[in-house]
Amino acid sequence: QLQLVESGGGLVQPGGSLRLSCAASGFSLDTYVIGWFRQAPGKKREGVSSISTTGANAKYVDSVRGRFTISRDNAKNTAYLQIDSLKPEDTAVYYCATTFPHMYGSLHEDDFSHWGQGTQVTVSS
């Protein structure tokens, strides 16, 4: 079975940090661009970051740049999202997804084919 499974979410105070993981099984991640998306209550799903197949290039939206770091370990078939300096507005379900290399740079959800189930990040005092 082809699966992406996110983990690492939880409840954290403002200013805290989390590391989210995206583990693939049933296929190899090394030929795919990885994107991270989030959906907050009452809001549309938005792309926040993506990383090229080798990890040489990464993209961030303005709202997370400098606080979020995307990475990947192809040998472990896993991608990561390190989130620092968390803000309440970061509260959302976070999803990882895959797309083909020629689509690197896109954060449009329609360009991504395989999706995980999501992991909840809650930032609150």
Percent of the chain with pLDDT over 70: 100
Please check whether residue 5 is in contact with residue 23, taking contact to mean a CB–CB distance below 8 angstroms.
Answer: yes
Residue 52, CA atoms < 13 Å, CB-side half-sphere: 8
The pLDDT value recorded for residue 1 is 84
The residue ranges of DSSP E strands in the chain, in sequence order, are 3-7, 10-12, 18-25, 33-39, 46-51, 58-60, 68-73, 78-83, 92-99, 114-115, 119-123
Tabulate helix, strand, coil % of the chain (nearest 5): 10, 50, 40
1 vs 27, 33, 47, CA distance in Å? 8, 20, 25
Spatial CB neighbours of 109, under 8 Å, sequence gap ≥ 6: 37, 45, 47, 97
pLDDT in tens, 17-32: 999 999 999 999 999 9
pLDDT in tens, 24-53: 999 999 999 999 999 999 999 999 999 999
pLDDT in tens, 87-110: 999 999 999 999 999 999 999 999
Spatial CB neighbours of 75, under 8 Å, sequence gap ≥ 6: none
